[in-house]
A and B are shown apart, each in its own frame.
Chain A
Amino acid sequence: MSRQSQRGPLDYASRWSLRLWVAGVMLFLYLPLASLILFSFNDSKRTIRWEGFTLDWYARLANDDALISAFANSLTIAALSTLFSVVFGTMAAIALWRFRFPGRGLFDAMITLPIVVPEICMGVAMLVFFGTVMPWPRDLVWPLDLGAIVIAHITFSFPFVTVVVRARLASFNREMEEAARDLGASELRAFWDIVLPHLRPALISGALLAFTLSLDDFVITFFTAGPNTVTFPVKIYSMVRFSVTPEVNAASTVLMAITVALTLIGMKFQRTEITKPDTGQPEPE
């Protein structure tokens, strides 16, 4: 911390008032979560007073078949949704970036709309759509019975991937691709060798975004799910509604651990992108 003595006028990050502010935000963000995790290890049915350490609640989770199958459903839905979202999202981004066509503005608006439409509106629209227009058969074998939920998740996830990929495409140097084409690469080849590598960070962060959006979603799933297609959040919701038990804490902690792990993986991939500004502006010392 020798830098502190000669700190520049723009070194807002080391001003104590702002540091205190950040510390306050951290407390606000993490105290509830820390308390939730702590009480998942509490040896008491009531989640108020600390009675001692136990792993009983986790053992109980592992034996809760309904919860396990809800969890498997959630992961399956998230994986399928991510796969399709990345493909569709990237396609739409490229279509909008590369081509002028009649109705481009409309297409752009239609792709962006699912991001801004309130979840509840999309949820009820899906409820009606899968209830009357395209009834999804109820007694299909797993995982086909999850189809309606997967479709709904792809629909609200892939526009986010489009946004991420478009942002990345904006910084693409078109001359690179033209050079490749001049040197005889086919359109597909130039895309595969030049554009795609440039997009890779966006594809990874887009995929992680789609995965967590799907895993996190409660509202739209709540309206799309049938009685036999319960996802993890829907299951937790019904548990929370009925009672506040340490078992819910344990289930929440498991879900949190997964997302934290995913985040760390994502950050590792993105790390270079965050610290290295695209504008070429030098880092201030």
Chain B
Amino acid sequence: MAVAKGGMTGASNAAFWAVFTLPAIWIALFFVVPLSVIWAYSFGRTLGLTQVEITGTLANYARVFDPIYLWIFAKSLVFAGATTAICLIIGFPYALVMTFASPRGKIALLLAIMLPFWTNLLVRTYALMAVMRTEGWVNRGFGLVGIGPFEMLHTNFAVVTGLVYVHLPFIVLPLFSTLDRLDRSLIEASLDLGAGHVRTIFQVVIPIVWPGILSAVLLCFIPALGSYLTPDLLGGTDSQMIASVIERQFKRANDWPFGAALSFMLMYLTLAAMVWRALAERRAVVRSAR
């Protein structure tokens, strides 16, 4: 049934089943089944504490379009979008420096961006909380130059800052890997032909690495959209994102079907973002083929 690729002979059926079976069963049992259950629940209604009757109702999805929840969805999209844009602006020059650094510099810069990334998310968020408090470092710095203190913690500003702080590596690493593969002679050609550095970057580098930029944007946007911890700890009462609402349905409010519907709306948004990227990538390929 399984055929080895590339016309190689001898790669047997037994070898295929040996590597295929375990991951396939695992992903089916512990990923497909749980998500299917949630999906089924989104068409049901609550009976008891953990009892859900699947009635095929669309009432849960209808409730998602309640202005209160639509507003939260919109706000989550704006937060994630702003986060991605800021990360891209901060991260692109960083990735550029990384690409053209010496081998040792490359390692140092990679390490510098990876260390916070490898540090626990909670620790990082907690560190930001301490810095952004009214009596924290930042406000004391403002105090020195005679302004402030500003109320920063538990605001939307804190949420976006926290999201940027957490998601910066998601942008820098894919950007670096595409920039690193870029053919440098194209930049040299552009410079030789008289274009400045800024113009070269915008008219030569960015169009070439565009698919890579899209990947980076997506890698940042998707986790930012579904963030739970950052808005929970850094945000105020009006900076809730989708994830906080989902959590509430499953824990305190105990309305699993509605929580399931919200989860799947978030999943559809995520998948839509991926489809958008696939289409954009295809367009980029078509354009470069012309």
User: Taking beta carbons and an 8 Å cutoff, which residues of A are in contact with B?
Assistant: 9-13, 18-19, 21-22, 25-26, 28-33, 35-36, 39, 47-48, 87-89, 91-92, 94-95, 97-102, 107, 110-111, 113-114, 116-129, 131-133, 151-152, 154-155, 158, 162, 174, 177-178, 181, 187, 212, 215-216, 218-219, 223, 232-233, 236-237, 240, 244, 248-249, 252, 255-256, 259-260, 262-263, 267, 271, 274-275, 277, 279, 283-284
Contact = CB atoms under 8 A, between A and B. Distances in A.
Contact of B243 (A29, A120, A181): A120
Interface string B95-116: 0111111110111011111111
A119 B103 contact: no
A118 B20 contact: no
Contact of A255 (B102, B123, B259): B123
A98 B5 contact: yes
A22 B191 contact: no
A26 B225 CA distance: 25
A246 to B, nearest CB: 10
A117 B270 contact: yes
Interface string B114-125: 111011111110
B267 to A, nearest CB: 6
Given A12-B96, A259-B118, A275-B107, A174 B135 contact: no
Give the 9 A-B residue pairs with the shortest CB-CB distance, closest first: A118-B226, A129-B34, A125-B34, A32-B127, A92-B23, A275-B103, A120-B243, A13-B101, A36-B127
Given A35-B137, A154-B30, A216-B120, 18 more contacts: A9-B191, A21-B97, A94-B19, A95-B20, A110-B32, A118-B225, A121-B226, A127-B250, A128-B37, A129-B37, A132-B50, A155-B27, A187-B12, A223-B250, A233-B120, A240-B122, A244-B130, A263-B115
B41 interface: yes
Interface in B183-214: 184, 187-188, 191
Contacts, number: 283
Contact of A129 (B16, B33, B121, B123): B33
A177 B11 CA distance: 11
A214 to B, nearest CB: 11
A267 B111 contact: yes
Interface in B1-48: 1-6, 8, 10-12, 15-16, 18-20, 22-24, 26-28, 30-35, 37-38, 41
Contact of B1 (A92, A101, A122, A284): A101
B266 A120 contact: yes
- The SS class assigned to the B binding surface is helix
Contacts of B246: 120-121, 124
Nearest to A91: B19
